[in-house]
Amino acid sequence: MSEDDRRVPLAHRVPDLGALELLLAVARHGSLGRAAREMGITQPAASSRVRSMERRLGVALVDRSPRGSRLTEAGALVTDWARRVIEAAEAFDAGTQALRGQRDSRLRVAASMTIAEYLLPGWLIALRTRLPDTAVSLLAGNSAAVAAHLLEGGADLGFVEGLALPDGLDGTVIGHDRLVVVTAPGHPWARRRTPLGPAELAATPLIMRERGSGTRQVLHSALAGHGGPAEPLLELASTTAVKSSAVSGAGPAVLSELAVREEVSSRRLVAVRVSGVPLDRALRAVWRRSQKPRGPGRELLGLADTGGA
């Protein structure tokens, strides 16, 4: 091979796999027409592909006659080489399918606390019904931690609550949630007749989630016009801890309506009416930019977007 030939990329010197498969079919059938039918193409297309291959290689591969098509001596030799290339390609395909199978047999999910505790279990039960062989691991944390897991490659799919997409992620809204102000029945707010206004809420120390949580982000945004919320009465790292402290009478808290539904229904907590404070928020599925979930991740995304139905 000349130095000039070496400078030409291999893909420009070697026929594509489809052309090599066609040559093998001609060798099996002794007919270009039957080879074309096996490949699902027309005979003129097959003839054109063989001529193109001959031009690329610089040798005649097939002798055509009214009795059929047979390989030339060079064609027989090229066919032997082509067979090895096709076998290697089939091994390559089998290997990559095995890798996809390994990828699709596991799913790493990161979810913010409210979604992890109150929505994700139902989605995962439905996923197990559809994909019983998929192993799922769950990382629960605040919205900032979920974003970090995804950006570092530690999770395939995430779920967050908040006002906007975290930087570096793509996503879609899968539902909506509302924050509520709750307190124990013995607290003065539990007996008030008028709605709680934003100024009073902002001035009152609350039991709050840690910085980086979607709940805290929404509350800060809702009270931004009043200087933001006061310094927390308590700052806790889980929804369950905040709720337990509120139930014990430690003070009022702001939590997801999903998280306190049972306690409000049983009167262990009282939902305080609020006026002039926008506490609605979107629930989002998120993933690394330009890496939309596939396989089990796409299946879970569909379940979340339909409420698990």
Kindly report, residue by residue over 222-276, the tens digit of the pLDDT. Answer: 999 999 999 999 999 888 999 999 999 999 999 999 999 999 999 999 999 999 9
Could you tell me the pTM of the whole model?
0.63
Give the confidence band of 64 by pLDDT, cuts at 50, 70, 90: confident
Instruction: Please tell me the CATH code under which domain 3-102 is placed.
Output: 1.10.10.10
Say if residues 259 and 247 touch (Cβ distance below 8 Å): no
CB distance 218 to 178 below 8 Å? no
Q: Which residue has the higher pLDDT, 203 or 4?
A: 203
- Going 237 to 243 to 246 to 247, the CA torsion angle's sign is negative
**By the 8 A CB rule, do 242 and 255 touch?**
yes
106 beta partners: 135
Interatomic CA distance for residues 196 and 42, integer angstroms? 77
User: Kindly report the CA angle at 154 between 209 and 288, in degrees rounded to 5?
Assistant: 85
The two structure tokens encoding residue 250: 């430690």
Count Cα atoms within 13 angstroms, Cβ side, for 248: 9
Averaging pLDDT over each range in 204-213, 265-274, 296-305, which range is the top one? 265-274
User: Quick one: pLDDT at residue 287?
Assistant: 96
What is the second-level CATH architecture of the domain 106-303?
3-Layer(aba) Sandwich (3.40)
What are the extents of the domains in the chain? 3-102, 106-303
Return the percentage of the chain with pLDDT > 70, whole number. 92
Confidence of residue 202 (pLDDT cuts 50, 70, 90): very high
